[in-house]
């Protein structure tokens, strides 16, 4: 199973996805999930140094089988990164 509910069923978690501590290698100026550990609230934001967040996580990508059918999706619904193959490669939106 790739996800599960928390004990109180208030959230869905992906146990194999872990928060990464923010350090000098953390991408700057890129959108990602960010969290300040003590508060425990995650945000989808662009990260900048000194923004107070302690950990980050990359955004999900569409599986290849979904990407193959993505031409049927309306343009606003297309992801920035559509498959695992595109990670790290520059992308352009049409």
pLDDT > 60? residue 1: yes
- Summarize pLDDT for 46-71 with one digit per residue, the tens: 999 999 999 999 998 888 887 666 55
Instruction: Determine the pLDDT at residue 93.
Output: 43
Tokens 């960010």 belong to residue: 34
What are the extents of the domains in the chain?
A: 17-59, 60-94
- Which two tokens mark 28? 């700057």
Mean pLDDT of 65-90: 56
Alpha helices (H) along the chain: 64-68
Overall residue count recorded for the chain in this entry: 94
Instruction: Determine the pLDDT at residue 87.
Output: 55
């Amino acid at each position: 199973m790739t996800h599960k509910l928390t004990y109180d069923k208030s959230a869905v978690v992906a146990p194999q996805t872990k928060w990464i501590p923010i350090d000098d290698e953390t991408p700057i100026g890129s959108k990602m999930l960010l969290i300040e550990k003590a508060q425990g609230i995650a945000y989808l934001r662009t990260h900048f140094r000194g923004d107070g967040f302690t950990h980050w996580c990359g955004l999900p990508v569409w599986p290849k089988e979904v990407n193959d059918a993505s031409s049927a999706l309306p343009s606003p619904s297309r992801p920035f990164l559509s498959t695992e193959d595109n990670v790290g490669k520059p992308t352009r939106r049409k």
